[in-house]
């Protein structure tokens, strides 16, 4: 292998180059966010695919056994094996279920189950890279603002790396599963009296003024790791690009990462055409969808409100690069009411797959885009299910057990006396409704 130049940071807005030893996430000249700049691999097309495919057989103790580090040339090329902090992560299934396809009105929808990551969400893919970098920089501590999944992931990776972690979450707005994980993995958990956008402002100030290493998705290493959601799904599809990739959008880290991954995959000859991105927001937290409707003439912000707490974000930080991703992929941005997201979730859950509320926005989005004729019935569609069903048990019980009248897919638990006749009555009713 030829010697590589060291990875640098490049400002997305003005192109300024900064040393990767710099822990800043914002350009001092123009305020833009950084991306990683590294030498492209010397291999292209089939030769590069062959390298990635051969690593599917990597031994469990090798970093390449991770679904992130398998693509290390496109994630962080100049890192050595011993520096990598990995669980490992990634290697998440790509599945389809007839009843979900039928409900969406398309012939085949694949679902990328990111809830199968070690802490139950896609965040682990970015966190393995960000925490690797934090340790390389000998950061005194790592920190993040979070709607819950980032904090759970950072807490786990910081524990693995032996680094202290500080997380800022909006008090009372984080789901039970995520809060419990964050505390249990050992992060110092600050319950901020404010919303996510307040938490992020505070975390950025703490990084600037107090020298902690910021692990939010404005961190370019996070974005680099999250590109592998797309790279891995392309590999699972035999490097045949789908027509659509549909996913929930909040702070717009994934939108940016997916755009970057597709740009690189096309440039390197891993795919011969670019899938269209469809970013789906909840209607109560849809500033990006509002900007899309304006043809991105204006950057909107809102006071966010939705049951899908992971995407309850009103001032998305990665706005500019997300705009680029949507433009370059001829993408779309839509928003959907909470009720539709929860119905989609109930359908996904009842198929035995399961996901958290925000994740179901992707499946709800496919249904809506198919009904509007934007997605064609025969299109190949991948919906990214970003988080695990157990992340938010509260919302499940509220939907199935506690909502009156019961929503369309409610599965009410039934309280009975401890006698066989009661069981028999329920069984007879189940048989009647199945027949
Ligand atoms: C489960 C889940 N889905 C989607 C998102 C939104 O992703 P992004 O902030 O990259 O737009 C998040 C972010 O917290 C999340 O936790
Ligand atoms: Zn700049």
Mean pLDDT by runs of 10 across the 435 residues of the chain is 75 95 90 95 97 97 98 97 98 97 97 98 98 97 97 98 98 95 98 95 94 95 98 98 98 98 98 98 98 98 95 95 98 98 96 97 98 98 98 93 92 95 94 78
Instruction: Give the closest residue (by CA) to ligand 1 atom 13.
Output: 310
Give CA–CA dist 110/382, Å, rounded: 5
The pTM score is: 0.96
Angle at 9 (CA atoms; ends 8, 12), nearest 5 degrees = 140
Instruction: Give the closest residue (by CA) to ligand 1 atom 10.
Output: 253
φ, ψ for residue 237 (rounded to 5)? -90, 15
Is 250 touching ligand 1 by the criterion CB < 6 Å?
yes
Q: Report pLDDT for 313.
A: 94
Beta carbons of 114 and 229 less than 8 angstroms apart: yes
Placement of tokens 């249904």 in the chain: 367
How do beta strands 142-145 and 165-170 pair? parallel
Instruction: Give the closest residue (by CA) to ligand 1 atom 14.
Output: 310
Pocket test for ligand 1, best of 114, 122, 177, 256 (most atoms within 8 A of CB): 122
Pocket test for ligand 1, best of 116, 126, 251 (most atoms within 8 A of CB): 251
Placement of tokens 């990551």 in the chain: 117
> CB 247: neighbour CB atoms within 10 A?
26
Q: Report pLDDT for 5.
A: 76
Is 115 touching ligand 1 by the criterion CB < 6 Å?
no
Q: Report pLDDT for 435.
A: 60
């Amino acid at each position: 292998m030829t010697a590589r130049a060291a990875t640098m940071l490049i400002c997305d807005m003005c192109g300024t180059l900064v040393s990767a030893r710099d822990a800043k996430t914002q350009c001092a000249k123009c305020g833009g966010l950084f991306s990683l700049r590294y030498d492209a691999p010397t291999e292209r097309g089939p030769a590069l695919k062959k390298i990635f495919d051969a690593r599917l057989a990597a031994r469990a103790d090798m970093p390449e056994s991770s679904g992130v580090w398998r693509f290390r040339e496109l994630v962080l090329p100049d890192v050595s094996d011993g520096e990598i902090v990995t669980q490992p992560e990634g290697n998440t299934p790509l599945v389809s279920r007839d009843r979900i396809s039928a409900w969406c009105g398309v012939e085949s929808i694949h679902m990328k189950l990111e809830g199968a990551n070690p802490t139950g969400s896609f965040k682990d893919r970015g966190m393995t890279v960000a925490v690797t970098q934090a340790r390389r920089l000998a950061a005194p501590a790592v920190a993040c603002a979070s709607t819950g999944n980032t904090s759970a992931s950072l807490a786990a990776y910081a524990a693995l790396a032996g680094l202290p972690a500080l997380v800022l979450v909006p008090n009372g707005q984080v789901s039970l599963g995520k809060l419990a994980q964050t505390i249990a993995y050992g992060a110092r958990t600050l319950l901020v009296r404010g919303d996510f956008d307040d938490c992020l402002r505070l975390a950025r100030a703490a990084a600037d003024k107090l020298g902690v290493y910021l692990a939010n998705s404005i961190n370019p290493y996070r974005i680099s790791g999250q590109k592998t959601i797309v790279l891995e799904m392309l590999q699972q599809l035999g490097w045949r690009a789908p027509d659509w990739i549909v996913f929930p959008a909040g702070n717009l880290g994934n939108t940016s990462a997916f755009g970057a991954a597709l740009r690189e995959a096309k440039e390197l000859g891993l795919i011969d055409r670019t899938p269209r991105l469809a970013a789906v927001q909840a209607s109560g937290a849809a500033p990006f969808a509002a900007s899309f409707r304006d043809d991105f003439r204006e950057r909107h912000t809102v006071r966010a409100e939705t049951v899908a707490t992971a995407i309850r974000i009103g001032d998305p930080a990665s706005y500019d690069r997300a705009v680029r991703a949507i433009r370059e992929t001829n993408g779309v941005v839509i928003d959907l009411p909470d009720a539709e997201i929860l119905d989609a979730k109930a359908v996904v859950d009842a198929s035995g797959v399961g996901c958290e509320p925000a994740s179901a926005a992707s499946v709800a989005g496919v249904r809506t885009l198919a009904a509007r004729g934007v997605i064609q019935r025969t299109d190949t569609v991948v919906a990214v299910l970003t988080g695990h069903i157990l992340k938010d048990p509260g919302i499940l019980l509220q939907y199935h057990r506690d909502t009156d009248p019961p929503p369309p897919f409610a599965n009410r638990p039934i309280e009975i006396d401890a006698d066989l006749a009661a069981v028999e009555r329920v069984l007879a009713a189940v048989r009647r409704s199945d027949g």
